[in-house]
Structure formats: C-alpha cells, structure tokens
Structure 1
Amino acid sequence: MRSLFIFLIAFTFVQAQSPEQKSILFFGDSITAGLGVDKSQAFPALIQQKVDSAGLNYEVINGGLSGETSAGGLRRIDWVLQRKIDVFVLELGGNDGLRGIELSSTKDNLQQIIDKVKSKYPDVQIILAGMQVPPNLGQEYTRQFESMYPELAEENGLPLIPMILDKIGGNEDLMQSDGIHPTPKGHRVIAETIWEKLEPLL
C-alpha cells in the first residue's frame, strides 16, 4: 500500500512538471487555408509534421480564411486570440493588393493586428510573411506594396519571410492554374521556407 502511495505521488509530480503544449497560429488568407488542396497538404499541416518529427511540443493551428483581407483579419483577431498563442505567423495583405486597397490602410491594419497579439500575449513570437502583387497595378503601387512588409518587420523587430511565394511563382508544377495558389508540391516548398525561420524560434 505504501509503495502504491509513493507511486501516485511520483506520478502526480511528473504530471505537474510536464510542459504544457504550446501553439503556433498561422493567421492568413487562402494561401494559408490551402485553397484548392486537401487541408492535410497545406503548409500548416506540413509544419505540424516537421514539429512532430523534431519532437517539439507544439500544436499548429491553421487560421487561414480564403478571401481574407487585412481589415477582415483585424476584425476577427480578438476572437482568435481567445486561445493562448505562443508563435504567431502573419500572412495577410495579398487580397488587399489584388483589390488595389490603399496601402496606408493595409499597413495600419497589419500593425494593429501585431499590436493586439503583443498586447494579449507579451511573450509571443511573431513572424511576418510578405507578399507581392501583379505589376498591372502600376510600378509605384507594386514597389510600395513590396516595401511595406520589410518596413513593418523593421519597425516591430520581427523576423521576415520577404515573399512567401518567392520560390514557386511562375512554376506550373508548383502553382495551380489560377497562378495564385500553390499545388501540394508548392505547399511543400512554402513549408521549407517557413521552417527556416520558424525552427530556431521553437
């Protein structure tokens, strides 16, 4: 009976000392959501595989929403943050650019999202993922759009993935026929790009 009592105490102690599972939230649009592919083939699911293979105690959450703009992201961020977030990867703004939305508005929305995340969870680690827009919106708009992400990263001291589609754009094997969304193989490339920035933080 005494040995059973000691075992129960030891088991309880081990449980108390076990680290709680942490979370990684990918907060973005259809790129993150995995439009056109099975959710298990989208890069957040592939990152979960990498996390598990590395023996890290993190749960990856796919917070992507197809068609999401920076304004839409700002409207839903408070709801998303009801759950404790340890790592936050922000991938928004592409749909703003496709719609020609005023860049000052997009940048302000992204900054407010960053501020809300930091305010809610001061110890959170944030990674910013940049996007690009087609040149048909004009050279000046395209240039300013591309520079918006490095500016936000520098102003907030964040790691930056300059262009999340950088290694797959224009490749028919990696992009779906719409020229916007990655194929399963393209998502694997994105996962590798993100993992380079993410792994050192975990």
Structure 2
Amino acid sequence: MSKIVSIFLLYFSVVTFVACNNQEKASAEQNTPSKNNAATPVKVVKNILVFGNSLTAGYGLEPSESYPAQLQNRLDSLKLPYKIVNAGVSGETTSGGNSRLDWVLKNPVDIFILELGGNDGLRGIPATETRKNLQAMIDKVKAKYPEAKIILAGMQVPPSMGKKYADEFRVIYPELAEKNNVELIPFLLENVGGEVKLNQKDGIHPNAIGAKIVAENVWKVLEGLLVKEV
C-alpha cells in the first residue's frame, strides 16, 4: 500500500511541476512583446488645400473628374501620404475667397494651392483689387502656417475684355509669385482654355478630358513640393 502511495505522490509531484512550468512559460510569453504585435509606425498624412472657384469645385463634372480628385488619385497610386482638400466654391471671386479663408484655415495646411481670380476677370473687377485680395490671402496663409508651401495658379482673361485690362490682369500672378517667393502655375488652363473640344458648352469650364490636362498642369508644379516619405 505504501508503495502505491509513494508512486502516486511522485506522479502528482511531476504533474504539478510540469503544470507550474507551463504556466510560468505562458505568463512569460504574454509579457514578452511579440515581433508580430510590435507597433507599426503610422505615416503622417499631410493636407493639400486647393482653394478656388468652380474650376476647383469641378462644375459640370462628376466628383471623380475634377482636377483635385485626379490629383488625389495620382498621390494614392504613388502611395504618397497626402490628402487633397477641395475647397472650391462656384462663382467665388478673390474678395469672397478672402472673406472665407480664415474659416477654411482652421484645419492644418501643408501645401496651399490658390486658384482664384478668373471670376474677377470675367466681371471686369479692377486688376488692382484682384491683386490686393490675392496678396491678402497669401499673407493669411503665411501668418497661420509659416511652413506651408504655396502655389499660385495663374489665370488670364479673354481678349474680349480689352487688351489693356487683359495685360494688367495677366501680370498679376507672376509678379505676386516673385514678390512672395511662392510657386507659380503660369496658366491653370494651359492647352485647355479656348479649345472647344476640351470645354463644356459654356466655353469656360473644362470637360472631363480638359480637367485631366488641368490636373497635369498643376501636377508639374506640385510634384516638386512633395516629400516622398513623410
């Protein structure tokens, strides 16, 4: 009988020892960081604010056809951590844009694309007024986000507005870009403006094909400002 008890006690001791070892091992594994569970670095997504009128809003187009949407598609295809914020409002003038800019700048801005002035030109607003408003908007962005990169989208008015006015208007953008040391898209609608087959029936707003060309015009300047790894 004592022999059986001794065997039982020996068996119980072995089982208890193994169980304790397994429990300690499991506890150690739980407390040891797993390589698979290691925290993955989160990429910081930067904001590209496109501030403009109906050209930016994508008037007459599907949302996916607007040039800001096409820029976002290209950024995504290149796996660049940038988010396009489309702040285009149809009919916006530089005066209206200057009035609403403070509200839009409540969210962080890393790259600011200023596309305004076209409606000023079509309405014959004095070039001096357009220049003043564009300068005010550039000043606001620089004051709120000193590190933000700024792109000024150049615009032109049709010859029907008169040569004197057209000439005064055309030089606003390159002169402001040089004065403020910001990037310039010489003419946003380059190779699109005046091309019947690339515009909608109103002859002012690009169609889907024209918008692709506009996106390319912007990309040529924007690409150089992008940080490949953010």
- TM-score, normalising length from structure 1? 0.94
Any conservation in 1 of the 2:48–2:112 contact (CA below 8 Å)?
yes
Shift of 1:86: 0.5
Determine whether 1:66 maps to 2:90.
yes
Shift of 1:94: 0.5
Per-residue Cα deviation, 1:39-89 (whole angstroms, up to 9, x for no partner): 110000000000011110001111100000000000110100010010110
Which residue pairs with 1:117 in the alignment?
141
CA RMSD between the two structures: 1.6
Number of equivalences: 199
Per-residue Cα deviation, 1:127-181 (whole angstroms, up to 9, x for no partner): 0001111222211110010000000000011111111111112222211111100
Q: Of residues 175, 193, 197 in structure 2, which corresponds to 1:173?
A: 197
Determine whether 1:105 maps to 2:129.
yes
Which residue pairs with 2:45 in the alignment?
21
CA 1:2–1:192: 2 relative to 1, 3 Å = farther
Q: Of residues 63, 76, 80 in structure 2, which corresponds to 1:56?
A: 80
Determine whether 1:141 maps to 2:168.
no
Q: Of residues 103, 112, 119 in structure 2, which corresponds to 1:88?
A: 112
Any conservation in 1 of the 2:190–2:217 contact (CA below 8 Å)?
no
Determine whether 1:196 maps to 2:220.
yes
Determine whether 1:11 maps to 2:32.
no
CA 1:35–1:4: 2 relative to 1, 3 Å = farther
- In structure 2, stretches of 5+ residues that fail to align are 1-26
CA 1:41–1:140: 2 relative to 1, 3 Å = same
Q: Of residues 168, 183, 202 in structure 1, which corresponds to 2:207?
A: 183
Residues 132-141 or 117-126, more deviating: 132-141
The aligned amino acid for 2:172 is M
| Distance in structure 2 (CA, Å) of the matches to 1:187 and 1:11 | 44
- In structure 1, stretches of 5+ residues that fail to align are none
CA 1:45–1:3: 2 relative to 1, 3 Å = farther
Which residue pairs with 2:176 in the alignment?
152
Any conservation in 1 of the 2:47–2:84 contact (CA below 8 Å)?
yes
- TM-score, normalising length from structure 2? 0.83
| Distance in structure 1 (CA, Å) of the matches to 2:221 and 2:28 | 51
